[in-house]
Amino acid sequence: MVARFNHANAHNPMSLELENAIRSVCRETEDNPAIRALVLTGGNDRSFCAGGDLNEVAQLSGRAEVEGAIDRLIDFYSTILKVTKPTVAAVDGYAIGTGFAVALSCDWRVGSPGTKLIMWELKHGVSCIIGAYMLESFVGRAAMSDVIYGCEVVPISRAVDHKLLHEVVDSSQLVERAIARAQILSEYPEITFRRTKALINQCLVAGLRHIAVEAKEAYVAGVASSVARRHLTRAKH
């Protein structure tokens, strides 16, 4: 199955509607025996996903709102990680924050020379606990530090070296190559692939749940200080 994100904005910012659509296609992939693999893509000449709206994050108020947002985010990534069939991300344009994490949640990532992987939360006064945990789990501490403290676009060569991208092809071939990779993975013996992936990702999902309390406290502290709101207000002027 190929799922193309269809936000009206060509950069595919993460809206609740898009999030729910991704959840739905993940559940369908897992439950439908006719579907052997899933490719997630922003579509031709569009970004993969420019992430959530930092202004919305900055407007969160109170512990209940923050904790609800963290729980939903962890459940969202867990939904992708719990798909035991092959998942491939075709990543063009921007993959920022939540969009970057969605790509990381897939088994294989195909990018283009125009792919822009960014986790810039710390620069904008937003905690990056979950993103940092996912990056360290997937590509190691050194690569994680480069990304979350640099807060800039990851150079393509570094993205490949760190395995943030497994392949880089011309954008015109991006989706086709992702489908081809999904086909290769789907032809592995199904029972061994799915059980191996389920166990590997089970550990990651458990880790996400384990850090939830600390992540909530970090976000609550940021909201209480209003640092993100002040920073984004200054950035607009």
Q: DSSP of 6-35, one letter per residue?
A: --SSTT----HHHHHHHHHHHHHHHH-TT-
pLDDT of residue 236: 44
Q: Does domain 2-235 have CATH number 3.30.1490.20?
A: no
pLDDT of residue 237: 40
pLDDT of residue 216: 84
In contact, 117 and 153? CB cutoff 8 Å: yes
pLDDT of residue 235: 45
Can you tell me the distance from the alpha carbon of 143 to that of 162, in angstroms, rounded to the nearest whole number?
6
- Residue 186 has a CB neighbour count (10 Å cut-off) of 16
Which residues, in sequence order, are CB contacts of 122 under 8 Å at separation 6+?
128, 148, 149, 151
Question: Which is nearest to 83 in space by CA: 20, 135, 35?
Answer: 35
pLDDT of residue 8: 87
Tens place of pLDDT for every residue, the chain, 237 residues?
Answer: 999 998 889 999 998 889 999 999 999 999 999 999 999 999 888 999 998 765 565 565 667 877 888 899 999 999 999 999 999 999 999 999 999 999 999 999 999 999 999 999 898 888 899 999 999 999 999 999 999 999 999 999 999 999 999 999 999 999 999 999 999 999 999 999 999 999 999 999 999 999 998 888 887 776 666 655 555 545 444
